[in-house]
């Protein structure tokens, strides 16, 4: 039976880094679901049409990791028809053998509510802004304002708002190094793999 790991949280909390590291350690395929929305935003035109015709190759488009692509993703992600068009893509990915890791904002609440492990990764606003500014070579103050705007939009949308699933394990990475955050998450995965009923 597939073992699905759902990792959610706001931008720059560390969820993507943790997801990629867990995929390497446990040999599970990984899907950064934010790339789906970034690709839809980058394709342009009607977002719903773009979402319905999305292919894996679209996830390889250049520029999907920029701040502009992130803002475009947040805007199109608020469109219910776009989210609906991408749900099945994600659910099929999540149930492959031996398992899969998906990270995003609504994996544990909407896409994979039955995931064997749900993590909700958080960090304080200042830490997240500093991380993202360093990653993009941007101004930390401007990045803080941008992250707060995006958080508010993601949390307030009617369809699949950003929030932790009731049974998610909260992982606060504010004071953690990357290695510490990955080690904490990996320990949770091993515990759940060894004790499926826990």
Binding residues for ATP: 9-17
Cβ-based neighbours of 156, under 8 Å, separated by 6 or more: none
- Residue ranges for the known binding site are 9-17
Cis amide linkage into residue 158, ω under 30° from 0: no
Beta bridge pairs of residue 109: none
173-178, long-range: CB < 8 A, 24+ apart = 173/13, 173/14, 173/18, 173/121, 173/122, 173/123, 173/127, 174/122, 174/123, 174/124, 174/127, 176/14, 178/14, 178/17, 178/21
Cβ-based neighbours of 72, under 8 Å, separated by 6 or more: 38, 41, 42
End-to-end CA distance of the chain, in Å? 16
């Amino acid at each position: 039976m597939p073992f699905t790991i759902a990792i959610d949280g706001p931008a720059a909390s560390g969820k993507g880094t943790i997801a990629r590291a867990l995929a390497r350690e446990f040999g599970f395929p990984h899907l950064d679901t934010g790339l789906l929305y970034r690709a839809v935003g980058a394709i342009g035109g009607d977002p719903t049409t773009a979402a319905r015709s999305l292919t894996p190759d679209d996830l390889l488009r250049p520029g999907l990791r920029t701040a502009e692509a992130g803002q475009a993703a947040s805007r199109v992600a608020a469109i219910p028809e776009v989210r609906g068009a991408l749900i099945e893509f994600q659910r099929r990915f999540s149930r492959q053998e031996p398992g899969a890791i998906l990270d995003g904002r609504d994996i544990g609440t909407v896409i994979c509510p039955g995931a064997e492990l749900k993590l909700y990764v958080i960090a304080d606003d200042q830490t997240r802004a500093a991380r993202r500014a360093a990653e993009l070579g941007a101004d930390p103050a401007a990045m803080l304002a941008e992250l707060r705007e995006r958080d508010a939009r993601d949390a307030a949308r009617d369809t699949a708002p950003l929030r932790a699933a009731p049974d998610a394990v909260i992982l606060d990475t504010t004071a953690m190094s990357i290695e510490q955050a990955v080690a904490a998450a990996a320990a949770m995965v091993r515990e759940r793999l060894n004790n499926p009923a826990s």
